[in-house]
Amino acid sequence: MDKSSHVLTLPSEPREFGFYMDGDWVAAGEREMFERASPGHGVPVTRTPRCTEDDLNAAVASARTAFDDRRWSGLSAADRSAVLLKAAELIRERIEEIAYWETLENGKPIAQARAEVSGCVGMFEYAAGLGRALHGETYNNSGDNALGVVTREPIGVVGVITPWNFPFLILCERVPYILAAGCTIVAKPSEVTSVTTLLLAEILSQAGLPDGVMNVVTGSGRTVGQKLLEHMDIDMLSFTGSTSVGRSVVEASGRTNFKKLGLELGGKNPQIVFADADLEDAADGVAFGIAFNTGQCCVSGSRLLVERSVVEEFSRMVADKLSKAKIGDPLDETTQIGAITTDAQNSTIMSYISKGQEDGAHLVCGGKQLDLGQGQYIEPTIFTCDSMDSAIAREEIFGPVLTVIPFDTMDQAIAVANDTEYGLAASVWTKNIDKALTVSRQVKAGRFWVNTTLAGGPELPIGGFKQSGWGREAGMHGVEEYTQIKSVHIEIGKRTPWVE
């Protein structure tokens, strides 16, 4: 590893956390603990409790009481907004600390973690305004004796289950919007990356959020996560994770209380590059799109469809870009590509690389694990394939593995882009406006980028078509998702009698 640049130091011993309920920390006490080793360094960095079913029930009861007594939903939107704005200020003050723990648990580069946490400040600021803009409708057109009012009410207690790839960012794409709607929350982060979710709960209390409105339970998905999604007192569940666990979320909702679901699931996202694109820009964007967060990104541009006349040249350009990106210690300020977050994900990625080779795909670059002395790292890898038949062209790998497929016509590119069960995100790279607009209309994806990738902001909703999910997070849609609609019929004056 390059030690010439500034490198933050590891903690001398793992930091122990409790969980967060009813406006305060609950000490781990006698509970079993989960010890997390930094994926970039292999040394233990945090210890978090494995919450029990009783802990979960207590957290849900706390959120239920806080919702039912209207201590949050009964406030004016202006008062709720003040809390969210204060939280934004406190997050800004603690960017370094949050980014440090995010990097230690996740393995992402510290500079990237900082940028993500800074982006979350904007989520809170924007959602603060949205809460005040939320409104209903009136129908003043039903005659002199009637008025119709349509109101939006907060849906109630919301469970939030988040994955390990962007623990703080994904959380902040949901929590401020849920709070702006007036709901209360029980969050369950991935067990391997729990700490920044706990820190957000503490920050929200310091910002003046009433006790019980934000609760965090820690523990594994199979235990505490499963109990959360089955819980009868959870009114809505926002689940972000794999499509396979998403199926069990749907099944659990049907088997219990038909809780409303928001599902943000997997993707196999096409990047379509036409020969008339600015190939230099496109190569840079494609390299970023597959290597950002080591490709452990639901919207990573993992399928590269390139017009046949430039496919070889363009693949080489992307490989060249990737060879110059700095892989290494996530605590090094200059690192661009960090570690693979879990051992299981490391094995999954390496097994897809083997499958690609067995299926006869041509390896353009990468394909190996990197021995940096400590931690787990995989070289950005490019394969070219002739068709969509291979597993590496069809299945979500969730790693830095790019599969290149050539195309001859725009219609063919659109057909290949849509030849997937997923519909999360897509990009087109071209300087021809007609092609850009036609492809953006016809590719089935919840997020679409023209001459860029992985761009976004608090204004733009996030979500998938097809098996990539249901509903939208962020933006005004992300607040409205957490409301339900009530129609109020008001009679004016004397009723026309039914019985004379």
Range in contact with ligand NAP (rule: CB under 6 A) among 101-109, 220-228, 367-375, 450-458: 220-228
Range in contact with ligand NAP (rule: CB under 6 A) among 14-22, 39-47, 235-243, 480-488: 235-243
Q: How far is the CB of 430 from ligand NAP (least distance, A)?
A: 26
**Of 266-285, which residues contact ligand NAP (CB under 6 A)?**
266-267
Q: How far is the CB of 92 from ligand NAP (least distance, A)?
A: 24
The pair of three-digit structure tokens given for residue 45, joined into one six-digit string = 């960095």
- Contact characters 116-155, ligand NAP, x per CB under 6 A: ----------------------------------------
Neighbours of 51 (CB within 10 A): 28
Range in contact with ligand NAP (rule: CB under 6 A) among 23-31, 263-271, 313-321, 327-335: 263-271
- Contact characters 29-58, ligand NAP, x per CB under 6 A: ------------------------------
Distance CA 318, CA 26 (A): 49
| 125, 173, 264, 481: the active-site residue | 264
Residue 385 annotated in active site: no
Residue 477 DSSP SS3: helix
> Measured from the CB atom, is 224 or 286 closer to ligand NAP?
224
Q: Which residue of 38, 112, 162, 335 would you call a contact of ligand NAP, by CB under 6 A?
A: 162
**Of 392-451, which residues contact ligand NAP (CB under 6 A)?**
396, 398, 424
**Of 238-257, which residues contact ligand NAP (CB under 6 A)?**
240-242, 245, 248
Residue 433 DSSP SS3: helix
> Measured from the CB atom, is 112 or 165 closer to ligand NAP?
165
**Of 283-312, which residues contact ligand NAP (CB under 6 A)?**
298
Q: Which residue of 40, 156, 163, 328 would you call a contact of ligand NAP, by CB under 6 A?
A: 163
3-state helix, strand and coil shares in percent for the chain, rounded to the nearest 5 = 40, 20, 40
Q: How far is the CB of 83 from ligand NAP (least distance, A)?
A: 26
Q: Which residue of 18, 167, 225, 338 would you call a contact of ligand NAP, by CB under 6 A?
A: 225
Q: Which amino acid is at 351?
A: S
Residue 298 annotated in active site: yes
Distance CA 374, CA 42 (A): 6
Q: Does 471 bind ligand NAP (CB under 6 A)?
A: no
Alpha helices by DSSP H, 17-109: 53-68, 77-93, 95-106
Q: Which residue of 55, 116, 125, 191 would you call a contact of ligand NAP, by CB under 6 A?
A: 191
Q: How far is the CB of 344 from ligand NAP (least distance, A)?
A: 8
Q: For residue 484, what is the enclosing H or E element?
A: strand 483-491
**Closest Cα partner for 210 from 385, 294, 84?**
84
Q: How far is the CB of 79 from ligand NAP (least distance, A)?
A: 30
E strand segments, 219-347: 236-240, 260-264, 270-273, 303-307
Alpha helices by DSSP H, 364-409: 391-394
Alpha helices by DSSP H, 399-483: 410-418, 433-442, 475-480
Q: Which residue of 264, 307, 329, 332 would you call a contact of ligand NAP, by CB under 6 A?
A: 264
**Of 382-401, which residues contact ligand NAP (CB under 6 A)?**
396, 398
Distance CA 135, CA 480 (A): 10
Residue the block writes with tokens 């994770």? 241
Q: Which residues pair with 148 in a beta bridge?
A: 139, 489
**Closest Cα partner for 445 from 413, 477, 467?**
467
| 51, 297, 298, 385: the active-site residue | 298
49 contacts 224 by C-beta, under 8 angstroms: no
The pair of three-digit structure tokens given for residue 462, joined into one six-digit string = 């996030």
> Measured from the CB atom, is 7 or 161 closer to ligand NAP?
161
**Closest Cα partner for 296 from 418, 184, 143, 169?**
169
User: In the bound complex, which residue of the shown chain has the CB atom lying closest to ligand NAP?
Assistant: 221
Q: Is 393 exposed, middle or buried (0-12, 13-18, 19+ CB in 10 A)?
A: buried
**Closest Cα partner for 461 from 440, 482, 451, 446?**
446
b (16+ CB within 10 A) / e for 215-247: bbbbbebebbbbbbbbbebbbbbbbbbbbebbe
The pair of three-digit structure tokens given for residue 444, joined into one six-digit string = 């089935």
Q: Which residue of 84, 229, 272, 364 would you call a contact of ligand NAP, by CB under 6 A?
A: 229
Distance CA 94, CA 206 (A): 12
Distance CA 140, CA 147 (A): 5
Range in contact with ligand NAP (rule: CB under 6 A) among 179-187, 264-272, 359-367, 411-419: 264-272
> Measured from the CB atom, is 113 or 319 closer to ligand NAP?
113
Q: How far is the CB of 170 from ligand NAP (least distance, A)?
A: 6
> Measured from the CB atom, is 119 or 210 closer to ligand NAP?
119
Is the four-CA dihedral 84, 234, 160, 25 of positive or negative sign? Answer: positive
Q: Does 348 bind ligand NAP (CB under 6 A)?
A: no
Range in contact with ligand NAP (rule: CB under 6 A) among 129-137, 157-165, 271-279, 367-375: 157-165
Q: For residue 358, what is the enclosing H or E element?
A: helix 343-358
Total binding residues for ligand NAP by CB under 6 A? 31
Which of the residues are catalytic? 264, 298
- The contact set with ligand NAP (CB under 6 A) reads 161-165, 170, 188, 190-191, 220-222, 225-226, 229, 240-242, 245, 248, 264-267, 298, 396, 398, 424, 462, 464, 469
